[in-house]
Structure 1
Amino acid sequence: MLALPPVLTHAAAPGFVDGLKQRVQAQPAEVVADAGALQTFDSSALAVLLECRREALAAGKAFSVQGLPARLRQLANLYGVAELMPATA
Structure 2
Amino acid sequence: MSTEAAQLPERLTLEEAGKTLAELGATLARQAGPEVSLDAAGLREFDSSAVAVLLELRRQLSAQGKSLRVVRWPRRLQELVALYGVQELLPA
Tell me if both proteins adopt one fold, taking TM over 0.5 as the criterion.
yes
> Which of structure 1's runs of 4+ aligned residues deviate more than 3 A?
none
Q: 1:35 aligns with which of 40, 47, 61?
A: 40
Matched residue pairs, number? 87
Give, in whole Å, the separation in 1 of the partners of 2:29 and 2:16. Answer: 22
Q: Are 2:41 and 1:24 equivalent residues in the alignment?
A: no
SS in 1 for 2:14: coil
Structure 2: gaps of 5 or more residues: none
Q: Show the counterpart of 1:64.
A: 69
Structure 1: gaps of 5 or more residues: none
1:21 shift after superposition: 3.5
Give, in whole Å, the separation in 2 of the partners of 1:81 and 1:13. Answer: 18
SS in 1 for 2:31: coil
